[in-house]
Amino acid sequence: MSKGPSTAQSKQEQTSAAVETQPGLLEQLRKRPLIPLLLGGAAAIAIVTALLLWASAPTYRVLFSNLGEADGGRIITELEQRGVPYRFAAGGQALLVPEDQVHSLRLRLAEQGLPRGGNVGFEVLDNQAFGVSQFKEQVNFQRGLESQLAASIEALGPVSQARVHLALARPSVFVRDHQPAKASVVLTLQSGRALGEGAVDAIVHLVSSSVPELAAEDVTVVDQRGQLLSRTAADGSNLDGTQLDYIQEVERSYRQRIEHILTPLLGATNLRAQVAAQIDFASREETAERYAPNQGDNEAAVRSAQTSTSFAGSEQAARGVPGALSNTPPGAAPSPINYPEGEGDDEAGTGDERPDSLQRDDVINYELDRNVIHTQHQRGRVERLSVAVVVNYRESVDEEGNSVQLPLDDEQLQHINRLVRQAVGYSEARGDAIEVVNSPFTETRETVVEQEWWESSDIQQLILQLGRYLLAFLAALILYFSLLRPLVKRYSESRQPAVEAPAPAATPGFSATVGDFDDSGSDQDTGQAVYDEPGGRRRKPSGYEQNLADLKEMAAEEPAIVAMIVRNWIAKYE
């Protein structure tokens, strides 16, 4: 049981003895100053080189982003062949190259058709095999059309990727079997970007205009989140982007009229005008047919006239001398209305004879006075205007010479009201409303912050670049004064010749005692020998002097060992 502690103690003593007998790493480096000098110089050169490379490193910019695997591989191969450094950013979605080579690389890669993208254009029709079927040719044409439309849509700023699906119309001899063309567009928008109604309508009309027999109502646009962007036919009551732009243009036109006519009188900063216009975009047509009675004989237009006369009575026998005269039938008896009694006798003696009945019918047809009016109302007609004008108080000077603001009188306000009415074309029948208000304006003082010269982006970029070089220079100075200079100085001191102590007088034989190794030249405080130089200065010992001091110290501490060594020397030379 007592063997364990003794064994551990002996091992500890052996370890401590080995440590004491073997010189440490620092002691070895101190004895060989060239090694630290070389290591420090290499480290300093490496650090300075790294700092210079970091300071002169180029700024990288995005060459392409959201590349497919095929396009990315082709572009990287091309960059490696040209020796252009590149990096990846945004999780591998963006390819970065030095800023000064971005535009030239884009042009060179575009010359080689890179990036090609995942879309297949009409070039699929260029290399068709002989005897290809009509169905396959139609499918290739549809693929090319879809790809071209997708590429056109991807040219829009907020759109990152687009896919177009077409269902082309199929011709049929039967009307009821005819199916119209339809299309759907799937958009992948960039992060934080959105499409306005105008851009969505533009995409819809772009697709509908590129495909035969495709109406805009049959185009559906959705985004990557599944939200419907295009409006359906049920939303016809809502105004589209064109109509909204037209309303804003009409309101802007009326507002500019008011400002142009009042600015010379009041000043550009003393009035504010707003116009709200109600526009009717409905399409209406009216047809009216009116009939007016004929007024007077002169204005009446006869279309046709017909007269019919009939009479009935006893027949008279022939009278008079036979011959031509007696065989001639008598003339018609005069009407008692037109000829009074006794005035209708004729030479044939028939004046007193009247028929039993007489009937006369006159039928006159006049043209109808018909008026047909077809009215087609114009779309975009102004239904009502609401105008609001605010006029600032006028500036004046009081008796003391101070600037004051005074309200306008009623006559001036009425004058402004009349000018506004004439400028906008006021119509009471239309229900227009105009309001002119005189009120003091609140002074808004805009604080214009002048940008200092160091706040410019170009100056900041230059300062950043100079700061990199300055940091590298300071690091080099710190390395030189803290590492290289002490190492060089120590190495230079080690290369100087040591000052040897005066040698003892030569004797025929060697004799030495412990008293010969005195410690008169050793420093009691440091344990190192210190020698005086001319002028009273003290210097550090050289390598020989240090070894001599170590031997003296060993002789003082271990005289038996030193005596044994001396005996061995004496026995060797006897």
Q: What is the CATH number of the domain that holds 411?
A: 3.30.300
Confidence band, pLDDT 50/70/90 cuts, at residue 155: confident
**In terms of domains, do 146 and 222 share one?**
yes
Which of the listed ranges 9-23, 155-169, 544-558 does the model predict with the highest average pLDDT?
155-169
Predicted confidence at residue 516, as pLDDT, reads: 44
Kindly state the average pLDDT of the residues 96-114: 83
> How many Cβ atoms are within 10 Å of 131's Cβ, its own excluded?
5
Predicted confidence at residue 2, as pLDDT, reads: 43
Kindly state the average pLDDT of the residues 89-114: 82
**In terms of domains, do 164 and 222 share one?**
yes
Confidence band, pLDDT 50/70/90 cuts, at residue 302: confident
CA 41/CA 27 separation, integer angstroms: 20
**In terms of domains, do 148 and 228 share one?**
yes
CA 258/CA 426 separation, integer angstroms: 12
Confidence band, pLDDT 50/70/90 cuts, at residue 238: low
Supply the range of the domain harboring residue 182.
132-170+178-235
**In terms of domains, do 278 and 413 share one?**
yes
Task: Choose the final residue of a domain: 438, 455, 484.
Answer: 438
Nearest to 61 by CA among 24, 100, 21, 20: 100
**In terms of domains, do 184 and 213 share one?**
yes
Q: Is 301:366 a contact under the CB 8 Å cutoff?
A: yes
State what percent of residues in the chain have pLDDT above 70: 68
In this structure, the strands spanning 381-391 and 433-438 are parallel
Say which CATH number the domain at 65 has: 3.30.70
Give the predicted TM-score (pTM) of the model: 0.42
**In terms of domains, do 164 and 229 share one?**
yes
Say which CATH number the domain at 157 has: 3.30.300.30
CA 444/CA 457 separation, integer angstroms: 30
The CA-based angle 562-568-569, given to 5 degrees, is: 90
Predicted confidence at residue 3, as pLDDT, reads: 45
Predicted confidence at residue 221, as pLDDT, reads: 94
Confidence band, pLDDT 50/70/90 cuts, at residue 447: low
**In terms of domains, do 155 and 255 share one?**
no
On the question of pLDDT at 421 being above 80, the answer is yes
Q: How many residues does the chain have?
A: 574
Confidence band, pLDDT 50/70/90 cuts, at residue 1: very low
Judge whether 298 lies within some domain: no
CA 393/CA 268 separation, integer angstroms: 13
Residue 318: partners with Cβ closer than 8 Å, 6 or more residues away = 326, 327
DSSP characters over 97-151 = EEGGGHHHHHHHHHHTT----S---GGGGTTPPTT--HHHHHHHHHHHHHHHHHH
Which of the listed ranges 54-63, 163-172, 338-347 does the model predict with the highest average pLDDT?
163-172
Nearest to 389 by CA among 347, 366, 420, 351: 420
**In terms of domains, do 204 and 82 share one?**
no
Predicted confidence at residue 315, as pLDDT, reads: 52
CA 310/CA 302 separation, integer angstroms: 24
SS3 state of residue 522: strand
Predicted confidence at residue 31, as pLDDT, reads: 60
Judge whether 382 lies within some domain: yes
Predicted confidence at residue 409, as pLDDT, reads: 92
Judge whether 461 lies within some domain: no
Judge whether 519 lies within some domain: no
Q: Is 275:420 a contact under the CB 8 Å cutoff?
A: no
Predicted confidence at residue 335, as pLDDT, reads: 52
Kindly state the average pLDDT of the residues 421-431: 93
Judge whether 108 lies within some domain: yes
**In terms of domains, do 138 and 205 share one?**
yes
User: Could you read off the pLDDT of 187-221 as tens digits, one per residue?
Assistant: 998 888 888 888 898 899 999 999 988 998 899 99
In this structure, the strands spanning 394-397 and 403-406 are antiparallel
**In terms of domains, do 200 and 150 share one?**
yes
User: Could you read off the pLDDT of 350-360 as tens digits, one per residue?
Assistant: 545 555 677 88
DSSP characters over 462-502 = HHHHHHHHHHHHHHHHHHIIIIIHHHHHHHHHHHSPP-PPP
Q: Is 526:495 a contact under the CB 8 Å cutoff?
A: no
For residue 340, whether the previous peptide bond is cis, meaning omega lies within 30 degrees of 0, is no
CA 352/CA 333 separation, integer angstroms: 9
- The rounded mean pLDDT for the chain is 75
On the question of pLDDT at 87 being above 70, the answer is yes
Predicted confidence at residue 392, as pLDDT, reads: 93
Task: Choose the final residue of a domain: 438, 470, 488.
Answer: 438
Kindly state the average pLDDT of the residues 510-523: 43
Judge whether 67 lies within some domain: yes
CA 97/CA 79 separation, integer angstroms: 9
Beta bridge partners of 546: none
Question: What domain count does the chain have?
Answer: 3
Predicted confidence at residue 30, as pLDDT, reads: 59
User: Could you read off the pLDDT of 37-56 as tens digits, one per residue?
Assistant: 677 777 778 877 777 777 66
> How many Cβ atoms are within 10 Å of 392's Cβ, its own excluded?
19
Judge whether 224 lies within some domain: yes
Predicted confidence at residue 207, as pLDDT, reads: 93
Predicted confidence at residue 332, as pLDDT, reads: 56
User: Could you read off the pLDDT of 243-262 as tens digits, one per residue?
Assistant: 888 999 999 999 999 999 99
* Amino acid symbol at 84: V
Q: Is 373:244 a contact under the CB 8 Å cutoff?
A: no
**In terms of domains, do 95 and 207 share one?**
no
